[in-house]
């Protein structure tokens, strides 16, 4: 008995997860963000200066790259939750992202990888040069698909403990401070890495992210033996498909009463009856004939003829959030408009405290505002509310959209003032002329965008995470990045339509290469209208969604590599 207890104690002492894994995961996340974010900010300048694209074309390329970077996480999430698990997907994503960074660095180091420009007009990039460039962007987007949807969920796996009475407040605080750590790393990237890329050249500037990402990979793999690794639910995609098929098969069946014993659930399930939302799917978990539908172990004889209540609710969780999720698309489209702000900053006085600041560095105010707001909200605002609950997730998302409308309105006014100043100073035909107007005029809209993101995006992440079971948390979190992917795609489409539509008949396009001849203020005004419509749509969908507390306790049917230790814990408790 003593020997068994000693072995059990040793197993308990080797228990994995917890806050001691945080240094490895946070270091990985921090250095990955520092390595990649600066590239996204500076890519518009790299395309303009080294590949000689016009602003609209360069913006479309950046939009599409960002879209791909945000689309891939949804696929990475399904692969993670259904097949490989979060640890393996993060590992693959880290390696692929590192390869992509190396290829991008080579485009800057190898002179023949970029088009020459000895005199105006500069040479266009060759198909090989474009292939080399786009392959690096594609690899980085593919790597992001493995890292972004899983890192937050993987980190939450380490500290989430439903048995802890303070678990809810711990997780709320975790989401806020996780974004603070992300904000700090992004700020470092936008301020210092971007500055180095502009001042020291692209070879040095792109080489630093390669080194940072290498260190990120080393740190992540160093903590491998300590991580809790939740095994994937290999039947997830099949399970969702089964619910749709069975509900369609049973479409002619009447729904039984709410407390009926004809709802099918497994013996260890907390979900004994389905919710009333999306009621059509409830027909998938109706037991028609127990003798024909169930075997001797009370398991379905044909899983394509009978599903559990849990299976039904998992599919409902995805369907129910889609309307609110759709409102994140226009929000993402607006937040992602910073490429044009960089073009504006290039034509403005960038001297601050007798220092010449790179045009891309001003966007750091977005991240700085976001970081400061999250810290203030978590430590000052939340304690002011009854029971320290703070704003609800839907309230935060709504306020974020409201502030994004205000930020876009400010963008309209600032660009109108900048254009009028350029005309007054005689730069109407000189798009490279620098007006006396300070680029600090862009700071208010950047700060408002940062505040909007701090409210809406963190609200989205917490909302999706709370509405899905833990085994689907990668998918839940990836929905936010997926909306940004769709938003980037919509943004590129809007740019294309506005550029071509307003430039017909020989007219000067709103998004002309000569920013002083164009009307970028009209473009921002169009985004403002879309934002106002999006706000009304959000309010409607939010009211229709109703309570976020329909299911407060999903089944914790998880299997991790610490399961034997948990079983041993139970034995010790009984003894």
Structural tokens at position 441: 């005029």
Digit-coded pLDDT (tens) for 277-321: 888 899 999 998 888 888 888 888 888 899 888 889 889 988 989
Say whether pTM exceeds 0.95: no
The CA distance from 405 to 475, in Å, is 29
pLDDT band of residue 553 (cuts 50, 70, 90) is low
Digit-coded pLDDT (tens) for 184-237: 776 676 667 777 777 778 888 888 888 888 888 888 888 777 777 777 765 677
Range with the poorest average pLDDT among 21-25, 257-261, 269-273, 435-439: 21-25
Task: Mark residue 126 as left, alpha or beta (left: phi above 0; alpha: psi -120 to 50; beta: remaining).
Answer: beta
Which residue is listed with tokens 């996204």?
40
Three-state secondary structure string covering 335-378: HCCHHHHHHHHHCCECEECCEECCHHHHHHHHHHHHHHHHHHHH
pLDDT band of residue 265 (cuts 50, 70, 90) is confident
Structural tokens at position 472: 């689907």
User: How confident is the model at residue 169, as a pLDDT?
Assistant: 62
* Mean pLDDT score of the chain: 79
Average of pLDDT values for 534-546?
92
If one compares 73 and 403, the residue with the highest pLDDT of the two is: 403
User: How confident is the model at residue 536, as a pLDDT?
Assistant: 96
Q: Which of 545, 522, 542, 523 shows the shortest CA–CA distance to 534?
A: 542
Average of pLDDT values for 147-171?
67
User: How confident is the model at residue 247, as a pLDDT?
Assistant: 93
The CA distance from 351 to 470, in Å, is 49
Digit-coded pLDDT (tens) for 468-525: 887 777 777 778 878 888 888 888 889 889 988 888 877 888 988 888 888 899 999 9
User: How confident is the model at residue 559, as a pLDDT?
Assistant: 40
pLDDT at residue 382 above 90?
no
pLDDT at residue 538 above 90?
yes
Average of pLDDT values for 358-383?
80
Assign domain 16-232 to its CATH superfamily. MFS general substrate transporter like domains (1.20.1250.20)
Contact 358/194 with Cβ under 8 angstroms?
yes
pLDDT at residue 24 above 50?
yes
User: How confident is the model at residue 9, as a pLDDT?
Assistant: 37
User: How confident is the model at residue 515, as a pLDDT?
Assistant: 87
Digit-coded pLDDT (tens) for 82-102: 778 878 888 888 899 899 999
Contact 69/136 with Cβ under 8 angstroms?
no
Q: Which of 329, 339, 340, 341 shows the shortest CA–CA distance to 490?
A: 329
If one compares 244 and 383, the residue with the highest pLDDT of the two is: 244
Structural tokens at position 467: 């509405």
Which residues neighbour 79 within 8 Å (Cβ) at sequence distance 6 or greater? 89
Sign, Cα dihedral of 393, 399, 402, 403: negative
Domain ranges of the chain: 16-232, 236-307, 320-546
The CA distance from 128 to 113, in Å, is 8
The number of residues making up the chain comes to 575
pLDDT at residue 526 above 90?
yes
Alpha helices in 357-435 (DSSP H): 364-376, 382-384, 393-424
pLDDT at residue 412 above 90?
yes
Asked if the domains at 16-232 and 320-546 fall in one CATH topology, the answer is: yes
Which CATH code fits 320-546?
A: 1.20.1250.20
pLDDT band of residue 411 (cuts 50, 70, 90) is very high
Contact 459/368 with Cβ under 8 angstroms?
no
């Amino acid at each position: 008995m003593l020997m068994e207890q000693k072995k059990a104690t040793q197993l308990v002492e080797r228990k994995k997860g917890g806050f001691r894994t945080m240094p490895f995961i946070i270091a990985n996340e921090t250095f990955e963000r520092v390595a990649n974010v600066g590239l996204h900010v500076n890519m518009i300048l790299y395309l303009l200066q080294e590949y000689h694209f016009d602003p609209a074309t360069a913006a479309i390329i950046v939009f599409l790259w960002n879209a791909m970077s945000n689309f891939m996480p949804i696929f990475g999430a399904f692969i993670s939750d259904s097949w490989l698990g979060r640890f393996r997907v993060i590992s693959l994503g880290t390696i692929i992202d590192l390869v992509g960074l190396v290829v991008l660095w080579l485009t800057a180091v190898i002179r023949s990888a970029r088009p020459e420009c000895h005199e105006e007009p500069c040479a266009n990039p060759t198909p090989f040069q474009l292939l080399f460039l786009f392959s690096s962007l594609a690899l980085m987007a593919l790597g992001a698909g493995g890292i972004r949807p899983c890192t937050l969920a993987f980190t939450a796996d380490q500290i989430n403990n439903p048995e802890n009475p303070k678990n809810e407040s711990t997780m709320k605080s975790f989401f806020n401070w996780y974004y603070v750590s992300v904000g700090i790393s992004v700020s470092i990237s936008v301020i210092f890495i971007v500055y180095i890329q502009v001042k020291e050249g692209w070879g040095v500037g792109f080489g630093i992210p390669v080194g940072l990402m290498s260190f990120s990979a080393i740190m992540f793999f160093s903590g491998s033996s300590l991580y809790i690794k939740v095994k994937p639910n290999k039947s997830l995609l099949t399970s969702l498909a089964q619910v749709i098929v069975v509900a369609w098969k049973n479409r002619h069946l009447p729904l039984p009463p709410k407390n009926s014993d004809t709802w099918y659930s497994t013996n260890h399930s907390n979900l004994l009856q389905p919710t009333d939302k999306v009621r059509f799917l409830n027909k998938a978990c109706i037991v028609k004939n127990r003798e024909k539908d169930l075997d001797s172990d009370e398991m379905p004889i044909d899983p394509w003829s009978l599903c559990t209540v849990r299976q039904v609710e998992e599919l409902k969780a995805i369907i129910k959030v889609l309307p609110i999720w759709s409102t994140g698309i226009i929000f993402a489209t607006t937040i992602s408009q910073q490429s044009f702000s960089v073009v504006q900053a290039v034509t403005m006085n960038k001297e601050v405290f007798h220092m010449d600041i790179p045009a891309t560095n001003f966007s750091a105010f977005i991240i700085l505002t976001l970081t400061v707001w999250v810290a203030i909200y978590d430590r000052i605002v939340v304690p002011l509310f009854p029971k320290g609950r703070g704003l609800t997730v839907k309230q935060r998302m709504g306020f974020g959209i409201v502030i994004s409308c205000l930020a876009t309105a400010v963008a309209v006014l600032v660009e109108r003032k900048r254009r009028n100043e350029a005309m007054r100073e005689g730069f109407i035909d000189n798009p490279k002329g620098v007006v006396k107007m300070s680029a600090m005029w862009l700071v208010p809209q950047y700060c408002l965008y940062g505040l909007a993101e701090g409210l809406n995006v963190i609200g989205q992440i917490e909302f999706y995470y709370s509405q899905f079971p833990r085994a689907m948390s990668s998918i839940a979190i990836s929905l936010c990045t997926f909306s940004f992917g769709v938003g980037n795609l919509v943004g590129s489409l809007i740019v294309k339509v506005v550029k071509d539509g307003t430039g017909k008949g020989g007219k000067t396009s709103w998004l002309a290469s000569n920013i002083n001849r164009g009307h970028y203020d009209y473009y921002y005004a169009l985004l403002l209208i879309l934002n106002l419509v999006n706000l009304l749509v959000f309010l409607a969908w939010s009211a229709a969604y109703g309570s976020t507390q329909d299911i407060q306790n999903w089944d914790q049917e998880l299997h991790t590599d610490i399961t034997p230790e948990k079983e041993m814990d139970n034995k010790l408790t009984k003894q």
